Chain A
Amino acid sequence: MSTGMRIVDIIAYPFIAFLIGMLYMGIARNIIGRIHRRWGPPVLQNLIDVFKLYRKREAGSHGVMFHLGPIIMVTGVVTCLYFIPMLSDGRWLKGFSFDGDLILVTYLMVLGALGMALGVGQGGVPFGVMGVTRGLTRLIGLEIPYFIAIIVLMAHYNTASINKIIELQAGGLSNWAMFKVPLAFIASLFSFWGMMGASPFDIPGAPQEVASGPATEFGGKYLALMMSSRGIFGFLKLTLWVDLFMGGAANLLILVGKTFVLFVTVLFVTSVYSRFKVEQAVDFMWRYPTIIGLIALVIEMVR
C-alpha cells in the first residue's frame, strides 16, 4: 500500500465508524418505534440532528475545561477506534491495531469518558456530576464480566493481540470464539449491553429525566461533538465484539451484517427491560454474568 493510500485509509477510519454508528442510532429509533407500535423518525434523523448542531452559531462555555471536555472525549474515542481492526483480511482498515493489544483498547475506552467527566465537572451542574458518578459506579459492575470474558479469550488463544485472536478464529462458524467459549461470550454480552447504554443499565444518561446526566449543560457544537463521539463509540464497541467473538469481518459488508445482528440484540434488551438503580446494576453484574464468566474461566483452566 502506498503512503497516499495509507493516509486515505487512516483518515477514512473514524468517518466510516461515524456514518455507520449514526445510521445505527437512527435505525434503532425506528425499530424501537415499531416495538412501541409507532413509526419512529426517519433513519437519517440522528445524522441530521448532528449536522444541525454543528451549524449552530451559539454555544455557552463554562471555561477551558468545559471547552476541552468534549474534545478529549472524541479524542479518546477515536484513538481507541484506531487500535481495533475493522477488517481482518487484506491491509485495509486496520488502523494502528498492530501497535496495541486488548488491554490497551480496554483502557482507552475509558479515556473518552474521563474527558467528558472533566468537562461536566467544570460545567458546574450537580446533576451532571451525578450522572458521571453513576456512570463510574456502574463501570465497576460492567468491567468485571467483561474482563473475565477477555481473560478467558486471552487464555484460550494465548495472545492479547486482537489481530491474532481474529486470525485464530478463521475457518468457519464453529471456530468463532462465541462457540468456542460460549459462556464467556454470554457473560461479556451483559457487559456489552451495559456499555451500549441498553435499558436495564442506562442510569448514567437517564434518558427519560429532564435534567440529569452528563450532557445537561452542553449545547450547540459541544453537543454535536458529544453525539458524534457517541455514534463512533457505539460502532467501536460493536466492532470490538465482532472481532473478539464473531471471527472479525473480511469486508465492510460482512462487518455491517455482523455488527447489525449484535446491535439488534441491544435493541431487544433495551425495549423490554426497565431501568436498574445504579447499585442494583452493579449487584446484578457481580452476580449472574460474573458467575457465568467464572464458570467459563474454570472450564478454560481445567481444559
Chain B
Amino acid sequence: MIGPHNIVLIPVVIGILAYFAGKLVRPVREGLTLLSSLFVCYVVLFKAGLNTIGIYTYNFSLPQYFDGFRFGNNGFSWYFAVIIAFSYLFVSLASFPLVKDKEYHGSFYLFFNIVAGALLGIVYSRDLVSFFIFWEIMTWSSYFLVVMNPNTKGKTGLTYIVFNVAGAYAMLTAMLIVYSYAGSFHFDRVVKAVSLMTNSTVFFISLLFAIGFLVKMATMPLHIWAPDAYTESEDSFTPFFSGTLSKMGVYGFILFFGMLIGFVNIKGVYEIKDTSLIGYIVAWLGVVTSVFATFRAIVQDEIKRLLAYSSIAQVGYIVTAMAVGTALGVAGALYHALIHSVIKLLLFITVAGVIYRTGKNKFSELGGLITRMPLSYLAVLFGIIGLAGMPPFGGFASKWVIYMSLIKNHYYFLLIGMIVSSTAAFLYCYKLIYGIFLGHPSSQGLMEVKEVPGFLWVPQIVLMMVLMLTGFFPGYIVPFIETAMKGIGFSVAFNSTSAYTLSAALGGFNGFVVINVLGAIFVFVFVWYTLFFPKSKRLHRLDIYWAAETPDENTPLHYGYGIGAELDRIPWVGMSLRTHITRFYEKTGEQISGIASVLKDVVFNGDGQIYMLYAILTLVSIFLLMGR
C-alpha cells in the first residue's frame, strides 16, 4: 500500500534506477521520471487525501532512546505535497528537451528525482529526525544540481552549501535541545515538552529554528547564496528550485512556529504589538528583504538573476505575513506560497525555453521575440501580471489577503514597506517582458528562432490556466487553506463562503465580477475596434519616429532594456544599490582568518615540548573531571 509513509521512496528509487538504466538506453531516464512524477501526483491527490490523517510509525528495532520514524498526513502537509507533486510533474516535462543533450543528463535525473522525494519526505515526516534527514538530502542533492552546470562558478556552490548547512546545523542544535526536554522526537511529544520549557529556552530554540528556515527562504541577511545559485543552476532545475524548494522554508517555519513551538508560546516571552519579538523581527526582515531585493532585481541584465531577486522579494512577503503569526497572516502566506510557486514555475520554465532557443540569457542580447514566440510571450505576460499582483489573476488575491492581514492587526509600517517593494515590482515586471519580447531584436539571428519546445507548452498552458482560474474564483482555494490551517491549529480566518469572492477583515472583492467586467469591456472594445474601423496599415519595425533620423537594420534600437539605470539617481535607492551585505561577510571572514592565523602561530607553533604540555594538561584535566 502506497501512502505518505513510503511515497518518498518512489522518486528516490526511480532516480537511482534511471541513472543506471539510462546508461544502456538513454530515454529511459525521461520515461521513468515522467512515470514517477505522474504516480506521485496520483498518490498525493487520491491515496493520501485531505481527510486521511494517518500516522505510520517505523521502529526498526532501534535502541530504546530512539522511538522510530513517523510519517503522517494532514491538511497542511497535503497543501504543500500538492505543490511539490505538480511542480515535479511540470519540471520533469520541461526538462526533457532542455537536458536532452547535456553531458550531465544522468546525474540531473538522479538528483532531481531525489530532491523531489526529499521534499515529499519533509512534508510527510512527523518526527524531527526524519524531518532533518530529508532536509539534509534536499540540501545536498540540490547542491549537486547547482554545481552541475559547467558555467557555475565554484564560489556559488560553496556559498550555497555553507549557508544551507549552517542553517541546518542551527536547526539540529535546536532539535537536540528539544529532545533533551521531550525525550522523543515525535511531534506530539515535542509540543507537550515545549509548553513546559522556560521562556528563555523557547526563545533560544525559536531563534535557531528561525535561522534554519530563513536561510532556505533567502531572507536578508542570509540570502547571499540565492541570486548566484538561482542564476547559475541548471535552467530546467531553477523553476523547481525557486518555485518549490524555497517553499520548504515556508513549510518548516509555519510548522515549527505554528504547531510545534506555537506562536502562543513564543508570545509569552517577549511581546510587541500582539506578536512575539522573534516574529516581529522576522516580519521586518521580510519587508527589508523584499524592498532591497526588488530594487536589486530592477537593475539586473541577466534574466535569471532578475527573476532570482524577484523570488527573494516575493518570498519576503510570505515571510512577513507568516511571521506576524495571525490566522489571516498565515492564510495569506499559504495563499501566496501557492501563487508564487505557480508564477515562478511558469516564468522560469518559459525563460529556460527562451534561453534554450536563443542561447542568450541577457536582456541586452534579446528583444523583439513576440512575433517568434507568441505563446511564451503570453506566458510571461500572465506571469508578470501575477508577479505584480494585478487584479484579474490570482496574484492579486494572495497579495490582498496579506495586505488585509497586516491592516487588520495594525501593522501599518510593515505594510508601507511592502507597498514600496510591491510598487517598484512593476518596473522589473515590465523590464522582463520588454527586454525579451518587445522592442527591437538586438541581433539578426533572433528573427529566425522558433517557439519554445512542445514539452514546455503543457506546463505553460496549465499554469496560465491556474492563474486565470484563481482570478475567476479567488475563494476556491480558501477551504483548502482553512483545512491546512486546522492541521496546524489555527482557526478560520476568512469570511467568505463562496468561490467567487474573497472576503476577510476589512473588506472583500468578487473576483468573478472583476474578471468578467474586464473581459466584457475588452471584447466589446476589441470587436468595435477591429471590425468597425478601417484596417490599420502594417508598419515595418524600423518605420518609427526617431528624433527626425532614419534608423536602419544596424541601428541599436533596443536600448530600452536598460530600464532601471535611473534608479541609481534616486538618493535612497542609489544608496541601497551600492550597499552589499557581501562586504560585511567578506570583512568578517578576513577578521576570522586573521584571528585564526594568530592562534595558529601561538598555539600550534611546531614546538614539540608545547605539544607535550598540551597532552599532559589534557590528561590532568580529564583526571580532575573524572574524580569529581
Contact = CB atoms under 8 A, between A and B. Distances in A.
Given A104-B391, A107-B389, A57 B534 contact: yes
A169 B569 CA distance: 42
Nearest to B384: A114
A155 B412 contact: yes
A144 B416 contact: yes
B46 interface: no
Nearest to B374: A64
B439 interface: yes
Nearest to A123: B544
Contacts of B392: 111
A71 B525 contact: yes
A60 B539 contact: yes
Interface in A234-269: none
Contacts of A211: 545-547
B380 to A, nearest CB: 11
Contacts of A65: 370, 438
B560 A101 contact: no
A114 B572 CA distance: 26
Interface in A148-167: 148, 151, 154-155, 158-161
Given A108-B391, A111-B391, A279-B569, A129 B412 contact: no
B419 A61 contact: no
B426 A136 contact: yes
Contacts of B400: 103-104
Contacts of A134: 566
A104 B390 CA distance: 9
B389 A216 contact: no
Nearest to B561: A129
B506 A217 contact: no
**Which of B381, B507, B537 counts the most A-chain CB atoms under 10 A from its CB?**
B507
A59 B538 CA distance: 9
Interface string B409-440: 01010011001100110110010011001111
A221 interface: yes
Contacts of B506: 101, 154, 158-161
B438 A118 contact: yes
Contacts, number: 208
Interface residues of A, number: 75
Contacts of A144: 416, 419-420, 423
A27 B129 CA distance: 74
Given A96-B517, A101-B507, A125 B544 contact: yes
A271 interface: no
B570 A282 contact: yes
Contacts of B17: none
Which residue among B400, B412, B416 has the maximum number of chain A CB atoms within 10 Å of its CB?
B412
A34 to B, nearest CB: 33
B518 interface: yes
A124 B370 CA distance: 12
Interface string A262-303: 000000000000000111001100100000000001000100
A161 B506 CA distance: 8
Specify which of B407, B415, B525, B572 lies most central, judged by the most chain A CB atoms within 10 Å of its CB. B525
A180 interface: no
Contacts of B563: 129, 133
Contacts of A117: 430, 434
B509 interface: yes
Nearest to A77: B521
Given A104-B509, A118-B438, A279-B569, A151 B522 contact: no
B533 interface: yes
Contacts of A151: 407, 412, 415-416
B567 A99 contact: no
A137 B391 contact: no
Given A75-B522, A100-B514, A108-B514, 12 more contacts: A62-B541, A67-B536, A79-B517, A121-B430, A124-B440, A125-B544, A127-B545, A143-B419, A147-B416, A154-B506, A286-B572, A301-B412
The 10 tightest CB contacts between A and B, nearest first, are A160-B507, A121-B438, A129-B560, A101-B507, A61-B536, A99-B510, A279-B569, A160-B506, A99-B513, A143-B423
28 contacts: A67-B529, A68-B526, A72-B522, A78-B521, A79-B517, A79-B521, A99-B510, A101-B509, A104-B400, A107-B389, A110-B388, A110-B426, A111-B392, A114-B430, A121-B439, A121-B560, A133-B566, A137-B566, A140-B424, A140-B427, A144-B420, A151-B407, A151-B412, A155-B412, A160-B506, A225-B525, A279-B569, A297-B412
Interface of A: 57-65, 67-68, 71-72, 74-76, 78-79, 82-83, 96, 99-104, 107-108, 110-111, 114, 117-118, 121-127, 129-130, 132-134, 136-137, 139-140, 143-144, 147-148, 151, 154-155, 158-161, 211, 216-217, 220-221, 225, 277-279, 282-283, 286, 297, 301
